[in-house]
Chain A
Amino acid sequence: MPAQALLILEDGRTFRGSSYGAQGTALGEAVFTTGMTGYQETLTDPSYARQLIVQTAPHIGNTGVNKADNESDRIWAAGYIVRDAARRPSNWRSEGTLDDELSSQGVVGIQGVDTRAITRHLRERGSMKAGIFSGADASRPEADLLADVLAQPAMAGLRLAEEVSCKEAYVVEPAEHGWTGETLFNIVALDLGMKAMTPARFAERGVRLHVLPATATFEEAQALNPDGVFISNGPGDPATADSQVSFVRSFLEAGVPYFGICFGNQILGRALGFGTYKLRYGHRGMNQPVLDRSTGKVEITSQNHGFAVDAPLDGPTQAPEERFGKVQVSHISLNDQVVEGLSCMDVPAFSVQYHPEAAAGPHDAAYLFDRFIKLMTDYKSAQRKNTQSQTTQSQEDK
């Protein structure tokens, strides 16, 4: 008989189930994700740091765990809430059970709860603080448990990127991901909680990444003389990311091509002078329809964001930071018209709120990596032309 476990939400709603993974206490923001596959990618996605994930898909753990599908080197989710945990995984790539993996990483989970009821609650009342208590912790008085839940800081205002980022810079070579030709571009990737699939998507297109920690400065990055700059996804409130915002502004001023995903979209938004806000319950799942306004096409996207950029949807507008010229909302969510992408018209920069690297999720948006390559190609050839014309000019000057 597994130990009993409780899920307590900040408004006092309590769900009883049994323990899953490690026993103890997990505190965090309760959020739900509707993806039907990819629990392993989800758990290891650093953007879920300090969050308790509710899986709406009822059967979790069926395919076990394997090394290849990790999106980082650990589970970042603070806690895990599922309905029916697999007793026995079955998949030719499985190397162990999810239950064991959660236990060995000390991740506290709960199973056997009405995840649909929890989801409906979060949908109506918004993502909120919550706690999972299992084993001995579950027998503490509920009032104390609720007090613990309430005592944790709220997600809004939390600065987490530095916590989850790599501590040391490293390089990802194209050859590591099957690219056999010459390296086409060097880019700087600021790791605010980057998923492993992101560098893979760049590298397989011939791009070398200099992955830098969240604390890296513009000068450090500039020293690498990058063809482009990338900012990854990551956890926390974008309103706290002042240093990364100024990092991006410096590159925009330098005219270096920029691409951002998720957190990287919010940072571009802020760099351009827009605000960000917290969504009631966020977008988490892999069935989210996004309209690419430039082509009129719909892509089914993988999403995981609780915050969004507050930018005008109609037509190109002047960026509040006027030196960056005009900007337009390039992608919108068809479900609720939330900004899902920004595209600058006068500086070489764009970003999306969703996850073109997928993992987990559909590959519909992989073209965005190609779009960035195009942007860098244009930038480079313009640069060459500039250099050439400068050379010509200086010769003429003589």
Chain B
Amino acid sequence: MPKREDLKSVLVIGSGPIVIGQAAEFDYSGTQALRVLKEEGLRVILVNSNPATIMTDPEFADATYVEPITPEVVEKIIAKERPDAILPTLGGQTALNTAIALDKNGVLEKYNVELIGANIAAIELGEDREKFKGVVERCGAESARSFIIHTLEEAFAAAEDLGYPMVVRPSFTMGGLGSGLAYTPSDLKRIVGQGLQYSPTTEVLLEESILGWKEYELEMMRDKNDNVVVVCSIENFDPVGVHTGDSITVAPAMTLTDREYQNLRDISIAIIREVGVDTGGCNIQFAIEPDTGRVVVIEMNPRVSRSSALASKATGFAIAKIATKLSLGYTLDEIPNDITQKTPASFEPALDYVVVKVPRFAFEKFPAADPTLTTTMKSVGEAMSMGRNFTEALQKALRSLEQKGASLDFSSVNELDVPELIEASKRPTTERLSQVQRALLGGATVEQLYAATGIDPWFLDQLVLLNEVSATIRQSTSLSPEMLKLAKRHGFSDVQIGALTHNSEAVVRGVRQALNIRPVYKTVDTCAAEFAAYTPYHYSSYDEEDELALHEKPSVIILGSGPNRIGQGIEFDYSCVHASMALRKAGYETVMVNCNPETVSTDYDVSTRLYFEPLTLEDVLEIIAAEDRTGGVMGVFVQLGGQTPLKLAQELADAGVPILGTSPEAIDLAEHRGMFSRVLDEAGLIAPKNGTAVSFNDAKKIADEIGYPVLVRPSYVLGGRGMEIVYDEPNLSRYIKNATEITEAHPVLIDRFLEDAIEIDVDALFDGKDMYLGGIMEHIEEAGIHSGDSACVLPPITLGKDVQERVRAATRAIAEGVGVRGLINIQFALAADILYVLEANPRASRTVPFVSKATGVQMAKAAALIGVGVSIAHLRSVHHILPEVGDGGNLPDNAPVAVKEAVLPFNRFRTPEGHVVDSLLGPEMRSTGEVMGIDKHFDTAFAKSQAAANGALPVSGTVFVSVANRDKRSIIMAVKRLVDLDYKIVATGGTADVLRRNGIASTTVRKISQEGTASGDRSIVDLINDGEIDMIFNTPSGGQARGDGYEIRAAAVSNGRPCITTVAEFNVAVQAMEALRSYEWDVTSLQEHAVVLAAGLAAQNA
């Protein structure tokens, strides 16, 4: 049965900003969906507030709305575009929840829009815990015993029956938000309290603990003819109790017999039918009691999920693409398998390799947060790897994390430390794998660790195997071929072998290569080699037979950005994907190297060839060698994937690999303080006074000289890791002592901190002759907040033309001085009308996608072509990637205004005592994602950015104001304006006094630290918790104090209220709130903005 002919236009809902639990995987699935819909000739409409996505590239849809994904906004889009259908299953929980809301409020019916790929009844059966329990029962399977509760009282009643510990899960939240394990009544009160808040239906499930059981997941697809296939089985290394997103997971399942596996498969099929997922994908999670085999169904996701992306990459079965086709009416047997070409999609992939996914965490960014892993997902990214056995795949995955200490440590373990390691391993944390492996290395038994952790003995034995191999390596008297082959077979890197044999990585590599012990490249083919594969999707293994085909043209290799992390996320993948697309279009053969399963770059369709491999020097050099012997290498791009490939630049160049674009020397020039200051001197530019210190005495001397406050940070960082503003000497001393490991090679950089400066970000292209200024972004928060966490606006709204001209001239001078060939990002600060250069990064930056979306010019594509020698002049006149005249630095007056806002993960983290972590912004980046608000004017653009990021600004109600003394002066006008607009103001004592003296009425509320005067006299935190405050404005009073400010902000985060912590942002928020009340704001697609922009440019140049 072919596809439906009655659908002419489809609205796809994206997943919005990258947050923990809902990340880049939905860009991957969404992009696939858009491609399919376009190929099928439908008019495609997209809404997604995240500019850093490939899916929001204007060419992927007919109308791309970078607008907040809220029912109100989506209704506006529906009213304007009148789509026939909505596809809500590829944008995560955000899209699904939006679709449910649109159904509930009658919008779908009103506009006669059909949901495809999902139906409301199925979504509710799948996601509503109580209904789902019924489904499981009707399918003859078991759920954990549980109770649904809506109040705390009900929770305590249920606890009588279930006993502690018990699992708490709020309904309809994503990534397990708000879930946790309650060991005591006070845990229960806290977790349930929050959970009721998080659940859009104020509903929480309490459940018998299945802690420590084996955990599995099956990825399923179903078509309208009721054909069902299992795409992949996944087994969690970590038993139940750790969110599957935070678990090490393995595909296929390793420790099930066929009978047990088929039982899970039968249950899954029965459930998908009973739930009524008509077309598309879903996943079902199981727990198995390890001693009896009792099976409990945990949950299902009736949509494409994070695991679907993983399963797609793990098997080569393109779930999102096929789900989209199914939603259009195709059946599985009508869809060809891209990889084999001759077999259909109605089959179940067979794997002849092992896939391991490991999570990447960011606890270092939240020192106060409790690193215990629970059923609330806390990882910010993941790496996946493939090997021909578990040990190889695991070790490759761990080194893919690029985190110090992530790879297993085989140095000897003191026997006396073993009991402590075993004890520590009982509590799941990011350290657990290491604790378990080290305990085994120190002589603990598999049985002991199984008892402590519940990790399956088969996995534990694999760690024992690794330990045994490490002993063989250590005992080897030379780098013998037998030893090296054994080590490599189990995934040991040259670095690890070197450490065990007291050799350098280079020596190990030299000997290994001389002995011709090299990896071969196998193919991901969905069918375990039963059929020939036509898709060059490869992974390495130390096995016998290589499968790489000869290629015709020398390869252009693009090194990706590895696992997502705070500071290096999807924005860098965006640049890599764009480079590959542009280069392929220009006739080059591109080769992508990456290990992040969430990304578009690891879609096997994006590049000519894909290597799913770690981005370490060893792995990259082997790929380059493989490409070289099969047809030659033109060069490697290192400046698109962020710091990950950039830090390989010099070593690759030393190995004789041609680096495309900006040279490693130029990269170094920009990174190196002394050399860079000479570039600035020559250009007549200045940086804030600064110095480099390798000891506290150095640091003190420098700080004394340039004056406090100073900004201190380690050299070579991305995302402001370890960066801090230090106001006095004791704090400087503390910083040097605690925060850094200072060496000659890794000094601390100390900069004068410019207070009350406006920060400016620039992205530009330079080809050695011409510069193209991509855009000038004005930060909304003052300097001192990391640029990644700061809101910014493009074009700048308060910078004069002359300032913009100075920025332009400075950008060009720096690009020229550094020797950039491609992209450069420069951060400036404007203080007292003096333009300071803060830093320059000759690479793709985090803001490239934002600038590209805001100005309609795809900068990364241009950069890629500059890298292979195309001039900016040609990019303007021949390739039409850049506009023929003008640039993003002098946009026409009617250009749309785009605001970028950061999205922060504070609600994910808890201190060990269970409190949320503080939500103050600082010089260290902590946001996971971003949104863009774009409109004709700044105020509504800002309002949109807030609605998309943090929850909409209130158009009426009560605003709480409490600011530090230094800020009291600057808030008067804005608060006055709110009162004029009929907002009620609640303030704490000092702030209320100042307001009163300025004739502004406010209700005084006591701080928590102040004693209540009467019973029922509630503190500000009580008011927030009681839902009486609609917006919180609180600036910190400085220092490390964990006082009222913290409690207030924590309450705001817990209750999901907008919380503003800087005066600058408060002022624009008030502007935006006024705009929201005054105008009926509307939605505009990027394509419509482009038309306006083009007309403006034409007028400007006429």
Given contacts A56-B352, A123-B529, contact A90 B258 (CB under 8 A): no
CA distance A59 to B529 in the complex (A): 16
Interface pairs (7), CB distance under 8 Å: A34-B352, A36-B350, A41-B258, A120-B547, A300-B347, A335-B344, A335-B531
Given contacts A119-B530, A300-B229, contact A334 B456 (CB under 8 A): no
Chain B residues with CB under 8 Å of A289's CB are 333, 343-344, 346-347
Interfacial residues of chain B within 528-564, with CB under 8 A of chain A in the complex:
528-532, 543-545, 547
Chain B residues with CB under 8 Å of A123's CB are 529-532
The secondary structure that dominates the A interface is: loop
Does B290 reach chain A (CB closer than 8 Å)? yes
Nearest A residue to B290, CB-CB: A92
Chain A residues with CB under 8 Å of B292's CB are 92
Q: Are A297 and B528 in contact (CB under 8 A)?
A: no
Q: How far is the CB of B524 from chain A (nearest CB, A)?
A: 11
Does B527 reach chain A (CB closer than 8 Å)? yes
Binds B, one of A169-177, A253-261, A360-368: A360-368
Partner of A362, one of B262, B293, B353, B390: B262
Interfacial residues of chain A within 34-58, with CB under 8 A of chain B in the complex:
34-38, 40-41, 56-58
Residue of A68, A117, A296 most packed against chain B (CB within 10 A): A117
Q: Interface size of B by Cβ–Cβ distance < 8 Å?
A: 58
CA distance A293 to B266 in the complex (A): 23
CA distance A87 to B458 in the complex (A): 9
Nearest A residue to B229, CB-CB: A300
Q: Are B531 and A298 in contact (CB under 8 A)?
A: no
Chain A residues with CB under 8 Å of B252's CB are 36, 57
Q: How far is the CB of B278 from chain A (nearest CB, A)?
A: 15
Q: Interface size of A by Cβ–Cβ distance < 8 Å?
A: 55
Residue of B293, B350, B458, B528 most packed against chain A (CB within 10 A): B528
Q: Are B529 and A287 in contact (CB under 8 A)?
A: no
Does A310 reach chain B (CB closer than 8 Å)? no
CA distance A113 to B291 in the complex (A): 33
Does B465 reach chain A (CB closer than 8 Å)? yes
Contact with B along A4-19 (1 / 0, CB 8 A): 0000000000010000
Given contacts A56-B528, A90-B458, contact A300 B348 (CB under 8 A): yes
Residue of B293, B465, B543 most packed against chain A (CB within 10 A): B543
Contact with A along B95-124 (1 / 0, CB 8 A): 000000000000000000000000000000
Q: Are B265 and A291 in contact (CB under 8 A)?
A: no
How many residue-residue contacts, CB under 8 A, span A and B? 167
CA distance A362 to B266 in the complex (A): 8
Does B1095 reach chain A (CB closer than 8 Å)? no
Given contacts A37-B258, A88-B446, contact A58 B389 (CB under 8 A): yes
Does A326 reach chain B (CB closer than 8 Å)? no
Q: How far is the CB of A257 from chain B (nearest CB, A)?
A: 28
Nearest A residue to B529, CB-CB: A119
Chain B residues with CB under 8 Å of A288's CB are 347
Interfacial residues of chain A within 286-328, with CB under 8 A of chain B in the complex:
286-289, 291, 296-298, 300
Given contacts A15-B544, A59-B354, contact A84 B389 (CB under 8 A): yes
Nearest B residue to A64, CB-CB: B257
Q: Are B347 and A334 in contact (CB under 8 A)?
A: yes
CA distance A289 to B390 in the complex (A): 28
CA distance A198 to B227 in the complex (A): 24
Interfacial residues of chain A within 179-232, with CB under 8 A of chain B in the complex:
none
Given contacts A84-B389, A285-B530, contact A335 B350 (CB under 8 A): no
CA distance A84 to B486 in the complex (A): 13
Chain A residues with CB under 8 Å of B457's CB are 88, 90
Nearest A residue to B461, CB-CB: A88
Interfacial residues of chain B within 201-258, with CB under 8 A of chain A in the complex:
225-227, 229-230, 233, 252-258
Q: Are A63 and B256 in contact (CB under 8 A)?
A: yes
Q: Are B258 and A116 in contact (CB under 8 A)?
A: no
Interfacial residues of chain A within 333-386, with CB under 8 A of chain B in the complex:
334-336, 358-363
Does B1036 reach chain A (CB closer than 8 Å)? no
Nearest 3 Cβ contacts at the A-B interface: A38-B258, A117-B545, A114-B544
Chain A residues with CB under 8 Å of B348's CB are 286-287, 300, 362
Q: Are B262 and A358 in contact (CB under 8 A)?
A: yes
Q: How far is the CB of B221 from chain A (nearest CB, A)?
A: 11
CA distance A36 to B260 in the complex (A): 13
Residue of A62, A120, A123, A363 most packed against chain B (CB within 10 A): A62
Partner of A298, one of B333, B389, B456: B333
Does B342 reach chain A (CB closer than 8 Å)? yes
Does A106 reach chain B (CB closer than 8 Å)? no
Q: Are A362 and B265 in contact (CB under 8 A)?
A: yes
Q: Are A91 and B225 in contact (CB under 8 A)?
A: no
CA distance A363 to B267 in the complex (A): 11
CA distance A56 to B255 in the complex (A): 17
Q: Are A287 and B347 in contact (CB under 8 A)?
A: yes
Q: Are A57 and B352 in contact (CB under 8 A)?
A: yes
Does A129 reach chain B (CB closer than 8 Å)? no
Does A83 reach chain B (CB closer than 8 Å)? yes
Does B769 reach chain A (CB closer than 8 Å)? no
Q: Are A57 and B351 in contact (CB under 8 A)?
A: yes
11 additional A-B pairs beyond A116-B545, A300-B230, beta carbons within 8 Å, are A32-B529, A56-B352, A66-B257, A88-B446, A92-B291, A92-B292, A117-B543, A287-B350, A289-B343, A334-B343, A362-B348
